[in-house]
């Protein structure tokens, strides 16, 4: 399943269950061991874990919950603090508790290697998107950034759709966008970086940045990745 197909199916998902099914389909066709989406904070939920979607063995999910591994999982603990992608090889593996945790996780088929991507949403929500593999160490070191490129892009689409379908994001009205803001969003949604947008519209790079900044405020976004996702979901790339 290519990235364009995944993004299109995310946009057409009608329910959280639909997202869960898509996660399994994506896992099966991408060749990874597992995919996990974990919303750790949402403004409209008092739950400490507002939404978790994963392809793990249900026995591991039950074990993880029963033992409250949320409080000791080295990857989850790192993800609460980090804003950059986390390669699992960089988190704590030295303490006895961490070693026991990873050994047990691998016995349930979690995967030998993993990357976790922290997500920060426009309304303060937080989430983690993880992919794991059973690649050899050599293959993982060669391929991990290829995986990361595709999964990093789709993780923002998944998060945005999950927040909408689970009703975990406040409703807001889109303020009127200017003609230039719409033009910049059109090209951004089609994959053009700001420098290329400037050339396509015969504008300065600083002007494009200002138009995108204004559009971001109006659409409730905080990063270029978020505004690109929102622009695509709203159909600006058509």
> How do residues 184-205 score in pLDDT, each as one tens digit?
999 998 889 999 999 999 999 9
CATH number at residue 28: 3.30.450.80
Among residues 165, 189, 221, which one ends one of the domains? 165
For 87-111, the DSSP string reads EGGGS--SSHHHHHHHHHHHHTT--
In this structure, is residue 66 part of a structural domain? Answer: yes
Neighbours of 71 (CB within 10 A): 8
- Both 157 and 192 in one domain: the answer is no
- Both 113 and 151 in one domain: the answer is yes
- Both 118 and 210 in one domain: the answer is no
In this structure, is residue 139 part of a structural domain? Answer: yes
Residue located via tokens 């978020």: 226
Sign of CA dihedral 215, 216, 218, 219: positive
In this structure, is residue 173 part of a structural domain? Answer: no
User: Cα–Cα distance between 1 and 178 in angstroms, integer?
Assistant: 36
**123: closest CA among 38, 212, 42?**
42
For the record, the structure tokens of 141 come out as 């070191």
- Both 127 and 201 in one domain: the answer is no
Contact yes or no for 141/115 (Cβ under 8 A): no
- Both 157 and 200 in one domain: the answer is no
For the record, the structure tokens of 131 come out as 């992919």
In this structure, is residue 109 part of a structural domain? Answer: yes
> How do residues 155-188 score in pLDDT, each as one tens digit?
988 998 999 899 997 765 566 889 999 999 999 9
Give the domain range for residue 184. 179-233
What are the helix and strand counts (H, E) for the chain? 10, 5
In this structure, is residue 171 part of a structural domain? Answer: no
CATH number at residue 217: 1.10.10.10
User: Cα–Cα distance between 188 and 226 in angstroms, integer?
Assistant: 11
> How do residues 53-88 score in pLDDT, each as one tens digit?
999 999 999 999 999 999 999 999 999 888 899 999
- Both 139 and 227 in one domain: the answer is no
């Amino acid at each position: 399943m290519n990235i364009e197909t995944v993004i299109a199916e995310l946009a057409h998902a009608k329910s959280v269950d639909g997202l869960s099914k898509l996660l399994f389909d994506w896992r099966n066709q991408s060749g990874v061991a597992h995919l996990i989406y974990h919303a750790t904070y949402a403004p409209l939920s008092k739950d400490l874990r507002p939404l978790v979607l994963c392809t793990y063995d249900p026995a591991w999910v039950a074990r993880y919950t029963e033992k409250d591994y949320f409080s000791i999982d080295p990857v989850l603990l790192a993800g609460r603090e980090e804003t950059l992608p986390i390669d699992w090889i960089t988190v704590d593996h030295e303490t006895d508790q961490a070693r026991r945790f990873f050994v047990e996780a691998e016995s349930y088929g979690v995967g030998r290697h993993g990357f976790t991507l922290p997500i920060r949403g426009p309304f303060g929500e937080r989430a983690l998107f993880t992919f794991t593999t059973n690649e050899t160490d050599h293959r993982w070191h060669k391929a991990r950034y290829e995986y990361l490129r595709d999964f990093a892009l789709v993780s923002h689409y998944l998060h945005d759709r999950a927040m909408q379908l689970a009703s975990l994001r406040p409703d807001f009205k889109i303020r009127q966008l200017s003609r230039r803001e719409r033009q910049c969003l059109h090209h951004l949604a089609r994959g053009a970086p700001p420098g290329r947008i400037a050339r396509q519209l015969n504008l300065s790079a600083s002007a494009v940045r200002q138009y995108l900044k204004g559009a971001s405020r109006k659409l409730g976004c905080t990063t270029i990745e978020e505004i690109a996702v929102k622009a695509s979901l709203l159909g600006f790339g058509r």
